[in-house]
A and B are shown apart, each in its own frame.
Chain A
């Protein structure tokens, strides 16, 4: 049995009653003619944290970036199969990707605050989306939710780039929260941070999971084990034609993935025999 401590929360419901936010069916993603990811089926549960783990190049970030149609911005990128958001085809003809991104926020690998003041970073999203309400309150609420308010309340006019890396990342989370999304996608949000900053972000994620659905891509298996309710394990496989594709190997409750995986490849990966 793999020797990994799972301290993460128990998945509260069975997979059947997930009330899925996203339903992914037979999803493949192409970059031009190259099929980067092949045949992914998974569900993202409402107000759960879903982790996607796996070695580099297994397509986990590619799948994540389909959830808010961020891949639209990459020339030649094109999904096949379906992703439903509350039963609505995310790639349907009538769907406006800008509206999608307003409802499905994203936090990136490298903190990317705008070169503006802390205040303006938060206010940017609500402003461009025409949100009504008192901006000072919106900013305070978002920063409070991101556990950053106490550290920055005296210097809201300061340039956001003057913050530490961990603070910048929490600012980016606050920025995402400020537009009141339903889902927050996180693409390796702690990979550029030190362990203390990482702990703060992980605690924050637990807190946010009460209100938001979170999907996190991480290289760090312990992180997935600590924070997520469900885990999807991806790997890259070479097909008969000699082409590498990312594949979803196993998707289950995190506790089961880390203690009793049903696939040999998952077990090899989490026990460190591979990847």
Chain B
């Protein structure tokens, strides 16, 4: 029988060198590398563009004033450059948002992952994720025209038209899908054997969910919450519309507050001349916001690594 055409005939060694060039491979590799580099380059570009105006800002205004003064009003005469009211407003609205989003989001995740029938989950989860796709400006008007009037009629304390409470609550509702969806993913990834082990010991569904599945999914849940916080801290439109534009340094959530992101939106959409101190203020606040979210992401990566359980 004749040997197949391309078979190696014993005794006649063939070279193992590449028989023809593979240009496609090189091109694909280059394209993929450019795609990867582009996101890194964008991050570097943002840092660089923030840096120059930030440096010239701190050339004119002392860092001590910026970080310790409690009065903010760079666009007024005389200007004040204490960033604390913006930082506190950001932390307060984010704090309210987290208080809303973590219990509700985790509750939804536990329901979807542990209690819901597969059919229910199939319908419910995409619907939840749609909530994440609603433009935040829509949330903002929902906050201003629906939630604020509601709060004013039911809350025992005084609430202004623009207030931090409403802004925080609605930001919280906006980030529920992030907490719920990512936590559900983390819980669904917990091996079923752990649930069975728990049930086999006479544990109820609730005990199993709270004491076995939740801890086992902890790293994923922390990641979900941190991502949600990052979204909350950086959220602009809702707090801009519902929280108002007055940088009050107060803990009274019924009052208007201006977050860092809302200030940037307000100043950036105004007619501030390029190169002035007012203009540089925007970048200084932007840099601080960037540093804050970056630090948080850094901490979260550490946390997630520390608590990650590795299953075979």
| Contact in complex: A101, B201 (CB < 8 Å) | yes
| Contact in complex: A114, B200 (CB < 8 Å) | no
Interface flag for B199 (CB, 8 Å): yes
Quick one: CB contact mask for A90-128 with B, threshold 8 Å, 1 for yes?
Answer: 000000001101110110101011111000000011001
Interface flag for B6 (CB, 8 Å): no
| Contact in complex: B207, A114 (CB < 8 Å) | no
Residues in chain B near residue A106, CB distance under 8 A: 196, 200
Residues in chain A near residue B202, CB distance under 8 A: 98-99, 101-103, 125, 128-129, 179
**Smallest Cβ-Cβ distance to A99: which chain B residue:** B202
User: Residue B310 contacts which of A75, A113, A125, A161 (CB distance < 8 angstroms)?
Assistant: A161
| Contact in complex: A125, B201 (CB < 8 Å) | yes
B22 to chain A, nearest CB (A): 43
B198 to chain A, nearest CB (A): 7
Task: Give the number of chain A interface residues (Cβ < 8 Å).
Answer: 27
User: Residue A128 contacts which of B193, B211, B311 (CB distance < 8 angstroms)?
Assistant: B211
| Contact in complex: A70, B200 (CB < 8 Å) | yes
Interface flag for B118 (CB, 8 Å): yes
User: Residue B117 contacts which of A75, A108, A124, A161 (CB distance < 8 angstroms)?
Assistant: A75
| Contact in complex: A115, B216 (CB < 8 Å) | yes
Quick one: CB contact mask for B152-196 with A, threshold 8 Å, 1 for yes?
Answer: 000000000000000000000000000000000000000101111
Interface flag for B212 (CB, 8 Å): yes
B195, B211, B216, most chain A CB atoms within 10 A: B211
B194, B200, B201, B212, most chain A CB atoms within 10 A: B200
- Beyond A114-B197, A115-B216, list 7 extra A-B contacts (CB 8 Å): A98-B204, A99-B202, A102-B201, A102-B202, A116-B215, A129-B201, A172-B197
Q: List 10 A-B contacts (CB under 8 A).
A: A70-B200, A73-B199, A98-B202, A98-B203, A103-B202, A105-B201, A113-B197, A114-B197, A114-B198, A124-B211
